[in-house]
Structure 1
């Protein structure tokens, strides 16, 4: 079964529909690549998915190990390169403060996050800078 349907809307914009839920995301080409930059670009979604996946995997880990997980957020910076145009670096600054984890639990949570499926799927030439505040 297909996961999503992507429709080109013109003007370098697409509508992505998650088929199971009907949730829609618009994408727009970035200003530095002939677009309006009025929505996530496809490469923005890749970088954002990395952090989203990490936060979700932390949730799974905490559920499986009986750990409190009431706060988690991340700031994501995507850096593009040229020749070829591609993502060259993703910077994730994650704030997991206030969960009350011990140092040992923090280390295990960090390892779980770094092993998320998106982390295992991005090209190995992309530099990942990951900083966690506990």
Structure 2
């Protein structure tokens, strides 16, 4: 079964529908590539997916080991390159809530986050700069 259906709306904008849930994502071309920049660009979604995946897998690992990362945030920065135009670096800065994590818990968080499916799916030439701020 297909995962999503994408419609080109015109004006460099698309709507993606997650077929199982009906959830929608709007994309817009970025200002530096002839767009309006009024929504996530496709490359924004690529970079953001890394942060989403890392948090999800770390959350699963934390729950399996009896602790929580609830309230953790990730700020994602996408760095573009030229010729060809592509994502060359994704920076993910995690900010954990005011909670004391043991060294073992930190190791679980960091290992699980770094080995999430999106991280493994990205081309190895894309630099992944990951910072864990406890």
Scaled to the shorter chain, the TM-score interval is over 0.9
Secondary structure of 1:118 counterpart = helix
Give the Cα–Cα distance (whole angstroms) in 1 for the partners of residues 37 and 117 of structure 2: 28
TM-score by length of 1: 0.97
Q: How many equivalent residue pairs?
A: 134
- Structure 1 stretches of 4+ with a deviation exceeding 3 A read none
Report Cα offsets for 1:63-91 as digits up to 9, x if no partner: 11111222210111001111000000101
What do you get for the CA RMSD once the two structures are aligned? 0.9
Contiguous gaps of at least 5 residues in structure 1: none
- C-alpha contact (below 8 Å) 2:5/2:17 kept by paired residues: yes
Task: Please show how residues 18-29 of structure 1 align to structure 2 within 5 Å.
Answer: 18-29=18-29
- In the other structure, the counterpart of 2:114 is 114
- In the other structure, the counterpart of 1:101 is 101
Q: 1:30 offset after TM fit, Å?
A: 0.3
TM-score by length of 2: 0.97
- C-alpha contact (below 8 Å) 1:4/1:16 kept by paired residues: yes
Q: Return 67-76 or 17-26, whichever deviates more.
A: 67-76
- In the other structure, the counterpart of 1:37 is 37
Contiguous gaps of at least 5 residues in structure 2: none
- C-alpha contact (below 8 Å) 2:9/2:15 kept by paired residues: yes
- C-alpha contact (below 8 Å) 1:73/1:95 kept by paired residues: yes
Secondary structure of 2:67 counterpart = coil
Task: Please show how residues 53-132 of structure 1 align to structure 2 within 5 Å.
Answer: 53-132=53-132
Q: 1:101 offset after TM fit, Å?
A: 1.6
